[in-house]
Amino acid sequence: LLEAGNMDARTAALCGMTIEAHGSMLIAAEQPHSGKTTTLTALLDFLPNATRRVFIRGWAETFDFLGQTRPEATLLLANELSSHLPVYLWGPKAVRVFETLRRGYALASTLHADSCDEALAQLVGELGVDRRDLARVNLLMVMRIYATTGGGYARRVVSLHRLVPRGGNVTALSLVEHDERADSHEHDESAEIDLL
């Protein structure tokens, strides 16, 4: 992913440290094949060996894991936050998964959105996630796929935001923005300081 230029090493390090520290992360992209699942899967390599992975079973989820796991040592993995397939997570069960973050669980998933604002509007407005629960998600990444002049494709992280609670709401602080013209990632060092 680094060799392909999908992200720079500093962005990868921020994501890796968040995952390693039992943080939650969502990766959004509007277009299919933008690399969100591949990127999330790669970042899971930063999980400590002792972390238990629980795969959320979409519409069939029973939440039995709540009585069988320690929140501080468990990462919940949802294939995708959407209503397109039964294996995906949406509706009241998705809202309940976000509520588990209050107990100390961490969550990693993907969704279809083209910007941080669009993702937040979808999760709060369409899905009905409580803003305070959404603010417990540490990072929200947005990716896009571009056609290159040689007839190929380039996948890029176009933004990385840190979600923080503010007066019962959720605020997104920009950590990383992609400069398409220079094909580089620009970092806001002041926003990165107290990420973890």
Cα separation, 61 vs 97, in Å, equals: 10
Cα separation, 141 vs 164, in Å, equals: 14
Let me know the angle formed at the C-alpha of 21 by 15 and 25, rounded to the nearest 5 degrees: 45
- Going by C-alpha positions, the residue among 24, 28, 25 that lies closest to residue 111 is 28
Q: Kindly give the interhelix angle for 36-43 and 9-20, rounded to the nearest 10 degrees.
A: 60
* Each residue's pLDDT expressed in tens, for the chain with a length of 196 residues: 999 899 999 999 999 999 999 999 999 999 888 999 999 999 999 999 999 999 999 999 999 999 999 999 999 999 899 988 888 999 999 999 999 999 999 999 999 999 999 999 999 999 999 999 999 999 999 999 988 878 888 999 999 999 999 888 999 999 999 998 898 999 997 776 665 4
- Going by C-alpha positions, the residue among 47, 44, 112 that lies closest to residue 73 is 47
Q: With helix as H, strand as E and coil as C, how does 60-88 read?
A: HCCCHHHHCCCHHHEEEECCCECCCCCCC
